[in-house]
Amino acid sequence: MPTMPSSSMRRGYIALVVILLMAVAALAQQTDTAAPAQKLPIWAYPGFPPSPPAAAGPKGAEHVPGSTASYTAAQIGDLFVVPDWFPKAHPPMPEVVSNGRKPGVFACGHCHLPNGQGRPENESVAGLPTAYIVQQMADFKNGLRKSSDPGMLSVTNMVLLSKSVTGDDVKAAADYFSSIKLKPWIRVIEVENVPRTRIAGGMLVLADGGGTEPIGERVIEVPENLERTELRDPTSGFIAYVPKGSLEKGKLLVTAGGNGTTMQCTMCHGQNLQGMGNVPSIAGRSPSQMTRQIIDFQTGARNGSLAPLMKGVVTKLTIEDIVAITGYLASQAP
């Protein structure tokens, strides 16, 4: 008789443990399937929603200030054409940069611009180490680097062309872009409210009708001059609006690791963040580009041979941290 209560107590206890374990397992499963750690911020991955037909503008020659060149709108939209508004401002472009190789290799200079300054929907490539560029081309080709958002058509195109470009062309393009110095391109402004924006061609542009809205935890990067950006003028840069306080918070994370949130970026990217050895520069570059890279390292969409070095850096970063970090990085001299 005395054993009765204790054995039923034990049975009760075991049952309780089993139920608890089941609950934990169920919870784990739930968090497993609910896994996407965070929603991709639309301002960094604006994608390419179908845009309304372009207004029937003049069909003749287009111009940008300070250039005697002229191109038609059709040429400016052609992935095998590089509108070269200022040919004397950069070294002679290798064939693959200026014309690409038909059918599959679009001209590098079309997207990245002849001087490698890049645009928010792609990346700046000027001044990156040759070996780093060659490595990234191999990563794209081998499926080790893609976008966390398959809707980023610009990245899809980059991956596509990496599959058919030859080693010689990669080397020529890498030497070319590596030889050019990245120029200041982003003007960072801390604000509480931003101009309202809409998505066009993989980037944000001012919304028709104007107006402002709270910035929230976002970086809003827009062309300084939309018309010149649309003409692919490689001398017309971008404004990045960031939340008030971002620069100070970003500096703490970048230079001191934010008290254990991350590692000091300067350790590997150099004291001035302008790169060290084959580790790329992260100073003065587009915050939308840099945000995508940090998130792509987090999700594993970017997983090349050197990506493990960034894993420990990005694991704990929240979107607020990333906004502050990339705003601060963009504000630094390239």
> Which residues of the shown chain bind ligand HEC in the complex (CB under 6 A)?
79, 96, 105-108, 110-112, 122-123, 125, 128, 133, 135-137, 147, 154-155, 157-158, 161, 165, 173, 253-254, 262-263, 265, 267-269, 279-280, 282, 289-290, 292-294, 302, 304, 306-307, 309-310, 313, 325
Is-cis flag, bond preceding 120, omega within 30?
no
Q: Enumerate residues 6+ apart whose C-beta is below 8 A from 123.
A: 112, 285, 286, 289
| Of residues 155 and 186, the one with the C-beta less far from ligand HEC | 155
Q: What is the dihedral of CA 309, 180, 322, 40, to 10 degrees?
A: -90
Q: What phi and psi values does residue 118 have, to the nearest 5 degrees?
A: 75, 170
Q: What phi and psi values does residue 329 have, to the nearest 5 degrees?
A: -60, -45
Q: How far is the CB of 264 from ligand HEC (least distance, A)?
A: 6
| Of residues 47 and 304, the one with the C-beta less far from ligand HEC | 304
| Of residues 63 and 80, the one with the C-beta less far from ligand HEC | 80
**Is the C-alpha dihedral spanning 252, 253, 256, 261 positive or negative?**
positive
| Of residues 215 and 295, the one with the C-beta less far from ligand HEC | 295
| Of residues 73 and 195, the one with the C-beta less far from ligand HEC | 73
The Cα–Cα gap between 238 and 240 comes to 7
Q: How far is the CB of 326 from ligand HEC (least distance, A)?
A: 7
The Cα–Cα gap between 229 and 204 comes to 12
Q: How far is the CB of 88 from ligand HEC (least distance, A)?
A: 22
Q: How far is the CB of 325 from ligand HEC (least distance, A)?
A: 5
| Among candidate residues 205, 238, 257, 193, the one with its CA nearest the CA of residue 330 | 238
The Cα–Cα gap between 134 and 147 comes to 19
Measured distance between the N- and C-terminal CA atoms of the chain, rounded to whole angstroms: 83
Cβ 187 vs Cβ 237: under 8 Å: yes
Q: How far is the CB of 288 from ligand HEC (least distance, A)?
A: 8
The Cα–Cα gap between 323 and 265 comes to 15
| Of residues 137 and 204, the one with the C-beta less far from ligand HEC | 137
The Cα–Cα gap between 232 and 78 comes to 11
Q: How far is the CB of 232 from ligand HEC (least distance, A)?
A: 11
Tally of residues, the chain: 334
Q: How far is the CB of 223 from ligand HEC (least distance, A)?
A: 17
Q: How far is the CB of 309 from ligand HEC (least distance, A)?
A: 4
| Of residues 65 and 245, the one with the C-beta less far from ligand HEC | 245
Q: How far is the CB of 247 from ligand HEC (least distance, A)?
A: 14
Cβ 177 vs Cβ 123: under 8 Å: no
| Of residues 96 and 200, the one with the C-beta less far from ligand HEC | 96
| Of residues 246 and 262, the one with the C-beta less far from ligand HEC | 262
| Among candidate residues 213, 249, 271, the one with its CA nearest the CA of residue 321 | 249
